[in-house]
Amino acid sequence: MVKTDGFRGRDYITMLDYTREEIETMIDVALDLKRKFAVGEPHKLLDAKTLFMIFYNQSLRTRNSFEAGMTQMGGHAHFLDPGKIYAPALEGDEKAYSTERVSDVARVLARMGHGIAIRCYGDPVGWIYGRANEVINNFAHWADIPVINMECDKYHPCQALADVMTVKEKFGDYKGVRFVMSWAYSPSVHKPLAVPQSAVIGATKMGCETVLAHPKGMELDDEVIKQCKIYAEENNTSFEIMYDIEEAFEGADVVYPKAWTCREFIPPWNDKPELEKSQELFDKNKHWICDDDKMKIAGPKSLYMHCLPCDRGFEVSNSVVDGPQSIVWDQAENRLHGQKAVMALTMR
Ligand code: CP
């Protein structure tokens, strides 16, 4: 039986805050909503409710899946551009008449609607790792309605939910599924750690045999790695770190190659953000591309995943992303259904 109590009013900022059983419930609800959407069965679970969405960064999938999802459930998702309101700012980062303290924005929006969703990472917080996560947690502290993380500098839990949901659809279960999260080359170093960190959290939490592969110097947050090891142990499975893309791809059921920036050049690992220094390390690793040769190593049954947008010709070849092993469109579609489940469960 699906256990749906205990969700109402909760924030969704990281998967770390939810048990494996709760994530399974979210996926069950998401699959039910996906079926209802497919057959045109009404599901106005959030009739007349409002989700406020604050985007400090650009988005295609996240914005449109939340907007479509709220429409389908009878509510409204309201888009807020920080440049067109008084940009929500933490105490100490305020600028008269152009920002407004997060505590104040959160309490105002909480009087008017039923959920607040925020995307914030990178330039808006000066590339100080953890600062965007602090902004979202500060919203959650002050708002007495659910706060949803639409991607910060640490986590992208909505992407991770769609990822594990897609794995479940393709394999039926997580046990024995070898899930390889790999770094891949991009001409842009301006990519946060949120997607790979949430992907390995999701994969280990749900019980996949998880591999994290990257060139030396592209490490993720030590706390995330520590937690993944705990999840892998709890699930009696494995979590390995590898430094060779070809070795990592051998025997993979799922490969998920994408770029992320080099943490050594952002605070707190560096005194100040010097992302351009990442470029040198990036450029030494152009061979970290997911192309036909790499997919041959993975094998014909291996599936290719990416959160999108992907950098074609750099992270991945056209032949792979557009080829028969690619499941990126299913992943993108599941953003809609996963987030509808999160909203239906928390914003009721
Ligand atoms: N994957 C993802 O979050 O896509 P957007 O940046 O388009 O929202």
- Domains along the sequence of the chain with CATH: 5-154+335-346 (3.40.50.1370), 159-332 (3.40.50.1370)
**Residue closest to 140 by CA, chosen among 13, 269, 245, 229:** 13
pLDDT of residue 3: 63
Q: Is 61 in the pocket of ligand 1 (CB under 6 A)?
A: yes
Which ligand 1 atom is the nearest neighbour of the CA of 58? 6
Q: b/e string for 205-220 if b means 16 or more Cβ within 10 A? A: bbbbbbbbbbbebbbb
- The whole-number pLDDT of residue 1 equals 55
From 53, 62, 150, mutation site for ligand 1 pocket: most ligand atoms within 8 A of C-beta: 62
337 contacts 33 by C-beta, under 8 angstroms? yes
Q: Cβ–Cβ contacts within 10 Å for residue 234, how many? A: 12
Ligand 1 close to Cβ of residue 308 (< 6 A)? yes
pLDDT at residue number 5: 78
Whether 339 is in the pocket of ligand 1, judged by its Cβ within 6 Å, is: no
Helices vs strands, H then E, count in the chain: 12, 11
Q: Ligand 1, residue 307: give the atom nearest the CA.
A: 1
pLDDT at 171: 98
Interval between CA 62 and ligand 1 midpoint (Å): 5
φ, ψ for residue 72, nearest 5 deg: -65, -25
The ranges of the chain with pLDDT < 70 are 1-3
pLDDT of residue 324: 98
Give one DSSP letter per residue of 63-126, joined into a string.
HHHHHHHHHHTT-EEEEE-TTTS-EEE-TTS--TTTEEEHHHHHHHHHHH-SEEEEE--SGGGT
